[in-house]
Amino acid sequence: MIGVNVKDNESIDRAINRFKKMVTRSRILNEYKERQQYTKPSEIKREAMKKSVREERRRQRENY
């Protein structure tokens, strides 16, 4: 569970911003969105292959 303690002399807006950063860094919302709908294992494998190909091409470009 993520929580933020408001420090002395700290505005609420700043505490909310710290909370938002903590939520995005913990990737809770990303996991929630992924679990909203079912993805077939074959689709997961296909996306992983596409990602690996893109990363390999990027590495190839950086080496030159």
4-39 per-position pLDDT tens digit: 999 999 999 999 999 999 999 999 999 999 999 999
pLDDT value of position 17: 95
Q: Domain coordinates of the chain in residue numbers?
A: 12-63
pLDDT value of position 2: 85
Residue 64 has pLDDT above 90, yes or no: no
pLDDT band at 62 (very low <50, low <70, confident <90, very high): confident
From CA 47, how far away is CA 38, in angstroms rounded? 14
pLDDT value of position 22: 93
> Is the CB of residue 2 less than 8 Å from the CB of residue 20?
no
